[in-house]
Amino acid sequence: MAHPKSRISKQRKRKRRTHYKAETPHVVICRSCGNPVQRHRICDACGSYRGRTIINKAEDIEVEDIDNTIDDVKVED
Ligand SMILES: [Zn+2]
C-alpha cells in the first residue's frame, strides 16, 4: 500500500490547511420581489427565476390559508 515516506509536521500540516476555508454563498437580489436569493436558484419568496414564475407561490399560500383558518383551530384545555 502507498505509504508516506516521512511524517508531516504540525506546522506544515497547519500551513497547508490555512487555504481550506468555507466560501461565502453568492447572493443576488430577486428581479421580481427584491429578496436576497442564492445565484442560479429559484427565489424562495416568490418562486421566480430570471424574471419568470417557475413555482406559483400565490396559489400555494391560498391553499394553506383555506386549510389553516383560525376558526377551525380548537384549543384543548
Ligand atoms: Zn423573488
Q: What is the pLDDT of residues 20-55, one digit of tens each?
A: 999 899 999 998 889 999 999 999 988 899 888 888
Work out how many domains the chain is built from and give that number.
Answer: 1
Ligand 1 centroid to 29 CA: how many Å?
A: 8
Ligand 1 centroid to 48 CA: how many Å?
A: 6
58, part of any domain:
yes
40, part of any domain:
yes
Cα–Cα distance between 30 and 44 in angstroms, integer?
10
Print burial letters for 20-34: b (CB count within 10 Å at least 16), e (below 16): eeeeeeeeeebebee
Ligand 1 centroid to 63 CA: how many Å?
A: 20
50, part of any domain:
yes
Q: Is the CB of residue 28 less than 8 Å from the CB of residue 42?
A: no
> The domain containing residue 40 runs over which residues?
26-67
pTM, full prediction = 0.47
18: burial class by Cβ within 10 Å (0-12, 13-18, 19+)?
exposed
Closest residue by Cα to residue 47 from 35, 67, 63: 35
Ligand 1 centroid to 12 CA: how many Å?
A: 46
